[in-house]
A and B are shown apart, each in its own frame.
Chain A
C-alpha cells in the first residue's frame, strides 16, 4: 500500500466528515442511513487508500465512494427496512436564537429542495454545495452535461416559485 496515499487519506478524512454527511443526508434523507453511509465511506477509503492518487482531490474521491456505497449497498438495505425520512425542520433546527431567521429561510429552501426529484437534489448539492463544474458533476453522476443543465434549471425554476 502506498504510504503517501494512506497518510493523505487519513489526514483528510476528518475535514470532509461534515460534507460527506451532508451528501449522505441528501441521498438517504435519514439520519441513521447517513451515519452508516459516512462510516462505510471512511472505512472503504482507508481500506482502499492505495487507490487514491496523492495530490488529487480527496473530497471528490470520497464522494465517489460514498455514492457508490449508497447506490450499491445501503440504499437497498434501507428500502428493505422501511426506514422513514428525516424532517427538514428537524434537520435544520437551531439551538441559537441568532440563527432563527436564517434557518427559517434555509429550512424552507431545504424543504423545497427535498421535494425536488432525487436526481435534481443530488445535482444541486454537487454543483451548488460542493462547487463541481457542470462537467465534473456530469462525470460523477454518469450523465451528459446537458442533463446537468436541465436538472439545475428545473431545480432553480421550482425554487424560484417559492418567492
Chain B
C-alpha cells in the first residue's frame, strides 16, 4: 500500500479536515501519479457498495422473521406473566391437553407450586416479577395464535393448533418457549373469565410433562 493511500481514501470518504484536504488537493493538482492513484482507489467505491448491497438482499428474511416472532413471544412473556392464581383451572389443563392429543403437559399455577420439579423452580425466577394485569391484556388474533403454536409445537415435538389446545372456559393468551438448563420448555398461557391466568408446560427433554402436579 502506498504511503499516501490512507489520506487519499480519507479524501474520497470526505473524512479529512479542511487543512489536510486543501493540502492534499494542492498535491493532487501538481502530481499526475498521485491523481491516477486517487482515481484507482476512488473507483473501488461503487463495486464495494454494490457487493454489500447484493449481500444484504440475500438475507433469509422469512427465516429470520419466523425466528424473531418466536423469540418475541418468549420475551414478551417474560415481561408480562404475573403472580397467577387459577389453581383449580390450572390443575385441569394437563389432563385436558392430554385428552386433546397434543401430549402430556404440566399445569402450572404460580400461586400454588409446592412440589415443583427443578425446572419448574427455575421458571419461577422468570415469572415472579410479572403482573397478571398486563398479561391478561394480550388479545392475540387467530393467525398469531396459530403461528405461535406451530413454532412451539415444532420445538417440543407436538402438532399444536388453535383447535387442539382450546380449553373450556379459558382464552388462549400465547404460546412461547422457555429455556431451562439448556433444554426447551414449551408453554401455553391461558386466562379464565375472572382474569386469572395459568400455563400448560411441556418439557421436551423429559418427553412429556406430568399432568396435574399440584
Contacts of B65 in A (CB 8 A): 14, 17
**Cβ contact within 8 Å between B1 and A153:** yes
B74 on interface, CB distance cutoff 8 Å: yes
A119 on interface, CB distance cutoff 8 Å: no
A30 on interface, CB distance cutoff 8 Å: no
Chain A facing B: main interface SS = helix
Compute how far the CA of A141 lies from the CA of B78 in the bound complex, rounded to whole angstroms: 32
Given contacts A21-B64, A160-B43, contact A128 B2 (CB under 8 A): no
Compute how far the CA of A108 lies from the CA of B76 in the bound complex, rounded to whole angstroms: 43
**Cβ contact within 8 Å between B41 and A160:** yes
B60 on interface, CB distance cutoff 8 Å: yes
Contacts of B10 in A (CB 8 A): 134, 149, 152
B14 to chain A, nearest CB (A): 9
Number of interface residues of B (CB under 8 A): 42
B131 to chain A, nearest CB (A): 12
A52 on interface, CB distance cutoff 8 Å: no
Interface, chain A (partner B; CB < 8 A): 1, 6, 10, 13-14, 17-19, 21-22, 25-26, 31, 35, 38-39, 42-43, 46-47, 91-93, 102-103, 105-110, 113, 124-125, 127-129, 133-134, 146, 149-150, 152-154, 156-157, 159-160, 163
21 of the cross-chain contacts (CB-CB < 8 Å) are A10-B72, A13-B68, A17-B61, A18-B57, A21-B60, A22-B52, A35-B63, A39-B64, A42-B68, A43-B71, A92-B54, A93-B58, A102-B54, A105-B47, A105-B51, A106-B54, A125-B52, A129-B49, A133-B15, A152-B9, A157-B2
